[in-house]
Amino acid sequence: MTTTRLVFDAAAVVALLFAAVMVLHRHPAKSVLSLVVSFFALATCYVLLTAPFIAAIQVIVYAGAILVLFLFVIMLLNVQQEEHRGDPHPIQRVLSGAALLLFGAMLFGLLRSHGGAGLPSDSSPIPDPDDLAAIARLLFSDYLLPFEALSVLLLAALVGAFVLARREKAS
């Protein structure tokens, strides 16, 4: 058991725990905050998986922008605690639960038996985790088209969000 593995396991447990908290909490604001913690833990995992750049992106963009946006919206809409009303469609829960169990079982079974199998031997060189330029090089050569498309997508999202969320003009 190396240190990396230990730290990874710890961070993973934290991430899973707070994810569960997020799902279970009644108040959406608190859910967001738990998810923030979970994302931080995940960022640690990413670092341990020799992806520091992604970890940084995770913290800055995912935790720091997207979830903050969620908080803004919660506050804007003044979302209250979810009320304890009876579920009018209990069948939904039953079915969902059953399907989830089945799915989970399948997933873990699969991962147990095949996770890690069929991978090539470690003959290729391990990429340097500190070499940011390598990622940049890939982005601007092999993945140039998706990159540019992404920028267009972001523009579209920007315009779309703007149009969707504005108030109707009083006629």
Partner 1 sequence: MNVPLWLVPALPLAGFLICGVLGKKLGKSFVSAVGVGSVGLATVAAYSRLLPFVFGSRAPVVETVGGWIAAGSFSVDIAFRLDALSALMTSFVTFVGFWIHVYSIGYMRHDESDAGYARYFAYLNLFMFSMLTLVLAQNFLLLFVGWEGVGLCSYLLIGYYYEREYAAAAGKKAFVVNRIGDFGFLLGMFGLFGLFQSLDFDRVFSTAAADPARYAPFLTVVALCLFVGAVGKSAQVPLYVWLPDAMAGPTPVSALIHAATMVTAGVYIVTRCNVLFRLAPDAMAVVAVIGAITAIFAAVIALAQNDIKKVLAYSTVSQLGYMFLACGVGAYVAGMFHVMTHAFFKACLFLGSGSVIHAMGGEQDMRKMGGLKSKLPLTYWTFLIATLALAGIPPLAGFFSKDTILAGVFEHQRYVLWGIGIVTAGLTAFYMFRLVSLTFEGKFRGTHEQEHHLHESPPSMTTPLLILAALSVIGGFVGVPKVIREVFGSAREQNAIERFLSPIFVPLEESVEHALGAGTEWLLIAISVVAAVTGLLLGWNWYAKQDGRIPARIAATFPTLYELVEDKFDVDEAYDFLFVRPFNWLARMLWKVVDVLIIDGLLNAGAFLVELTGDLLRFLQTGNVRNYALTFFLGVVGLLLIVIGFTY
Partner 2 sequence: MISGIPLSDVLLVSGGLFVIGLAGALLRRNAITIFLSIELMMNGANLALLGYGAALHSLEGQIVVFFVIAIAAAEASVGLAIFVALFRHTETIDVNEIHLLKW
Q: Which is nearer to partner 1, 91 or 145 (CB)?
A: 91
Regarding 44 and contact with partner 2 (CB under 8 A), the answer is no
Residue 145's binding partner among partner 1, partner 2, none (Cβ under 5 to 8 angstroms by kind) is: none
Taking the complex as a whole, the smallest distance from the CB of residue 60 to partner 1 amounts, in Å, to 30
Residue 102's binding partner among partner 2, partner 1, none (Cβ under 5 to 8 angstroms by kind) is: partner 1
- Ranges within 110-139 binding partner 1 (CB under 8 A): 110
Taking the complex as a whole, the smallest distance from the CB of residue 12 to partner 1 amounts, in Å, to 24
d(CA 31, CA 82): 12
Identified binder of partner 2 from the candidate list 126, 130, 148, 170, rule CB under 8 A: 126
Taking the complex as a whole, the smallest distance from the CB of residue 73 to partner 1 amounts, in Å, to 18
Taking the complex as a whole, the smallest distance from the CB of residue 125 to partner 1 amounts, in Å, to 34
Regarding 57 and contact with partner 2 (CB under 8 A), the answer is yes
d(CA 31, CA 26): 8
DSSP per residue, 23-68: HH-SSHHHHHHHHHHHHHHHHHHHHHTT-HHHHHHIIIIIIIIIHH
d(CA 101, CA 95): 10
CB 48 within 8 A of CB 11: yes
- Ranges within 70-99 binding partner 1 (CB under 8 A): 89, 92, 95-96, 99
Identified binder of partner 2 from the candidate list 10, 102, 144, 153, rule CB under 8 A: 153
5 C-beta neighbours (distance < 10 Å), count: 10
Whose CA is closest to 126, among 12, 44, 57, 49?
49
CB 45 within 8 A of CB 8: yes
The binding site for partner 1 (CB under 8 A) comprises 89, 92, 95-96, 99, 102-103, 106, 110
